[in-house]
Amino acid sequence: MGGVGHALRSNKHINTMNPASYTSVDSLSFMFDIGFSLKSSNYEENNIKSNARNSSFDYLAMQFRLHPRIGMVIGFTPFSTVGYNFSSSGNVPNSNNVSVTNTYYGDGGTNTVFAGLGFKVLKNLSIGANIGYLYGNQEYSTTATLSNGGDYTINYRNLNVKSYKLDIGLQYTQPLNKNQNITLGLTYGLGHQLNTTEVIGTQVTDGSSYSSTNEKTYYDGYGIPSTYGIGLSYQYKNNLTVCVDYTRQEWSKVKLSDVSGMYNDRNKIAAGFEYIPNTLGRNFLERISYRAGVYYTSPYIKIPNDISGTSYSDGAKEIGVSAGFGFPLTLFQRKTVLSITGQYINLSPSNKNLMSENRFVLKIGLTLNEPWFMKWRVN
C-alpha cells in the first residue's frame, strides 16, 4: 500500500509503524507476521549498466492482547543494510606503463529487536510506544592493486553499533456513521547520537603478510534523525481502506563524525488503499484483498562534486509504486493471510553523472492469526 501506516488500524495485520495501532488486535487472537523480499536492481552510471539480484529478510513480529485496553508486539527488523563489491581501473600518475585497480567493498548492516505496547486511553483514542535495541556491524574497504605486481594497499573502516531506538504514536478514530470512520495517526521517532565504535586504518600487504598503519578508533560519531509522521485513513465497513501519509526525517541536524551539514531533511508522501469485495463471501475471489499504493521520497544525502568538497549535489530522489494481493487461507478458526506484492522503485540523482537505479521487488508476507485465547463452551 505504498508504505502507509501512521493511521492504519487493522485486526488482520501487525502495523509497527504506529504502536498505537496495537490496541486494534482481537481479544481472542495471537498474530505472527513474517516477510521476505526478492529484488532485481538495474544500475546505470556514465552509460555503464549493471544488474544485481538478491533477497532479504524484512521483518518478524508477533502481537497479542495483555488487557482489554493493552496490546503488545515483539519483533525484529533490519534497520539498514550494506552490500556492494565493484572496481575501477586507471593509469598511475606520471607512469604510463603501470595501472591501478581500486576495489570497493561493503558488507553488514544494523538490526533492531523491539517490544511495543499500545494503550487505549478512551474508546476512540489510543497511544503507544516501541523501545528497541539497535545493533550491528558494517565493514568497508578500498583495495588498490598495481598492475606491476607490487604491494597493494587496503584502506578499511569497521563500524560497530550498540544503541537504542524509541518511537511513540497516537491514533484517534472518529465514526462518521455505523459503516464509515476516519482515523488520524501521529508518530514520533526520537533522534539521538548512537553508541558506536569506528576503527579506521590502512594495511599494506604482499598477499601473505600484512602491516597496519595509522589505525585510529572513534566513538559516538553517528546519529539517527528525529522523525515525524502524520496520516489519515478512511474505512468503509471491512471492505475499503484508504490511507495518506506524510513523514519528515530531520537529517540536517544529524552529525557524521562531528561534521554537520552533510544531509538534507527527508520528506516522504505516500498513499495506498485496500479493497475486499466481500469478507464473508463464498467465492474465493471475493475474499481476496486487492491493494495498491504509491510514494515519493526526497533526497537526504549530499554528495561532493569534487575532492575539495566545496560543492555538493543532492542524492537520489525515490519514487515507488506497488500493487498486490492478500490471499485468505482460512482453515477452521484460523485466519491466515498470504500477501504477495510487486513493487517498482526508481532512484534518480540530481547530478546525471551519478548512479541511478531501477529496482523491481517481489514481497512475500505471511500472517498467522490464531485463536489462542478462545474459551470453548463445549470441549
| pLDDT single digits (tens) 109-146 | 999 999 999 999 999 999 999 999 999 999 999 988 87
Residue 7's pLDDT band (cuts 50, 70, 90): very high
Are residues 62 and 75 in contact, defined by beta-carbon separation less than 8 angstroms?
yes
**pLDDT over 70 at 375, yes or no:** no
The predicted pLDDT at position 309 comes to: 59
| Ordered DSSP codes for 141-158 | EEEEEETT---EEEEEEE
**pLDDT of amino acid 97:** 76
Determine the pLDDT at residue 360: 96
Please list, residue by residue across 99-111, b when 16 or more beta carbons sit within 10 angstroms of its beta carbon and e when fewer do.
Answer: ebeebebbebebb
Helix (H, G, I), strand (E, B) or coil at 220: coil
Q: How confident is the model at residue 371 (pLDDT cuts 50, 70, 90)?
A: low
Confidence of residue 235 (pLDDT cuts 50, 70, 90): very high
Give CA–CA dist 169/71, Å, rounded: 13
The pLDDT mean for the chain works out to 88
CATH superfamily of 19-370: Outer membrane protein transport protein (OMPP1/FadL/TodX) (2.40.160.60)
- Provide the pLDDT for residue 258: 62
- pTM for the full model? 0.86
Q: Which of 10-24, 132-146, 161-175, 321-335 has the lowest mean pLDDT?
A: 321-335
- % of the chain with per-residue pLDDT over 90: 55
What are the E-state strand segments in 206-333? 210-219, 223-224, 227-236, 240-249, 266-275, 289-297, 302-304, 312-314, 316-331
Instruction: Tell me what the mean pLDDT of segment 176-194 comes to.
Output: 94
pLDDT on residue 30: 86
Grid look-up 505496547 returns 117
Average pLDDT value for residue range 366-379: 68
Q: Flag the least confident range among 15-19, 302-306, 370-374.
A: 370-374
Please tell me the predicted confidence (pLDDT) of residue 302.
82
Segment 10-24 shows an average pLDDT of: 92
**Closest among 175, 247, 183 to 17, alpha carbons compared:** 247
